[in-house]
Structure 1
């Protein structure tokens, strides 16, 4: 059984897991996995450890941007285009 990091430790960490992003943002795990698979949420994956890690500050900012664009009524394709031009 794995131990979860405290919210304080997560908020101080440079890199977080997808589960920790769920805790930070309140977004669903399946949504974050979808964004990752669609290339909308960049991650780092170390060879010896297959766990995907996300830069906490960049990932949270990216997810907030995606949320705002969705609230404006943009489609996933439009959001991906917007993200590509804002990189």
Structure 2
């Protein structure tokens, strides 16, 4: 876990371990364009910038707790 916590990039599975957010939720955020990633050419693995992704996940979570809809959240993130 310590290695993951110090890595610049992490996988979606590692984000699950770091944040406690379900895999399906993170996959949804990714597919909706709310959680940016880079894709490694050699094996097509999605890599997320650890610090930025964790920060974004917590922002999204907070907005959801405030009863904001996904379109509202996407508007805030993009705008």
Q: Please indicate the TM-score interval, normalised by the length of the shorter structure.
A: over 0.9
TM-score (norm 1): 0.89
Runs of 4+ in 1 over 4 A off after TM superposition: none
User: Larger radius of gyration, structure 1 or 2?
Assistant: 1
User: Structure 2: how far apart are the matches of 1:53 and 1:46?
Assistant: 7
Picking from 52, 57, 74, the partner of 1:58 is 52
* Residues 1-87 of structure 1 aligned to structure 2 (within 5 Å): 7-85=1-79
In the alignment, structure 1 segments of 5+ residues that lack a partner are 1-6
In the alignment, structure 2 segments of 5+ residues that lack a partner are none
TM-score (norm 2): 0.98
Q: Secondary structure at the match of 1:27?
A: coil
Deviation digits for residues 3-33 of structure 1 (CA, Å, limit 9, x no counterpart): xxxx100000000000000000000000000
Alignment length (residue pairs): 79
User: Structure 2: how far apart are the matches of 1:34 and 1:73?
Assistant: 17
